[in-house]
Amino acid sequence: MDRDSEAAYAEYVEQAWTTLVRAAIFLGAMAHEAEDIAQTTLVRCYTGWDKVSSADNRDAYVYRMLLNCLRDSRRTRWWKDRAATGALEDAGRLLATADNTDSVAVADAVHRALSCLTKPNRDVVVLRYFVQLTERQTADVLGVPAGTVKSRLSRSLAQLAANDHLLDLSGGTSR
């Protein structure tokens, strides 16, 4: 890799690291797993930087890599034996700040609500609202038509609006 490409890559890593880790957490990884997945994604970006930097939609390309790294990690025997509840507890610790219990409660409620969605619907919500990709970019990342993104978002938002974990935060009544 030449000096200019290396500088561009280093700048991209600095800009993208936090968002990649956060996206991996919202997609269901524990904090340490999210960091590993983000790091693996960025290593793959480094080895294919020419493709990444010349992609029409670099964010979509990189988040597709992130989803693939996450899926690869889920294929291991270790993952299949792991308890799913650890991700929520670990995410709360990662997002906690000094004596900011309200933020921890919100983060926990959001993670619990997201865990009630199907994997494809959670992917769409995280990429669209937490990563803030456009509908087109989200469709490119997931390899689905934009209409599918819209319909999944519609169903997901309706399900989240009725979710007991989020209703508890808003003071609404549970069903």
pLDDT tens column, 31-81: 888 999 999 999 999 999 999 999 988 888 999 999 999 888 877 655 555
- With respect to residue 33, please indicate whether it lies within any of the assigned structural domains: yes
- With respect to residue 74, please indicate whether it lies within any of the assigned structural domains: yes
- With respect to residue 160, please indicate whether it lies within any of the assigned structural domains: yes
The pairs formed by 10-13 with CB atoms below 8 angstroms and a separation of 24 or more are 12/45, 13/42, 13/45
What's the pTM? 0.67
- With respect to residue 175, please indicate whether it lies within any of the assigned structural domains: no
| Mean pLDDT of the residues in the chain | 82
Angle at 63 between CA 114 and CA 4, to 5 degrees: 150
Structural tokens at position 38 = 């983000």
pLDDT, position 49: 93
Work out the pLDDT band at 166, boundaries 50, 70, 90.
Answer: confident
Angle at 150 between CA 147 and CA 153, to 5 degrees: 150
Rounded distance between C-alpha atoms, residue 174 and residue 168, angstroms: 7
Total count of domains within the chain: 1
Work out the pLDDT band at 15, boundaries 50, 70, 90.
Answer: very high
Structural domain boundaries, residue 115: 3-170
* pLDDT tens, position by position, 84-140: 445 455 555 555 544 566 667 777 778 888 888 999 999 999 999 888 889 999 999
- With respect to residue 15, please indicate whether it lies within any of the assigned structural domains: yes
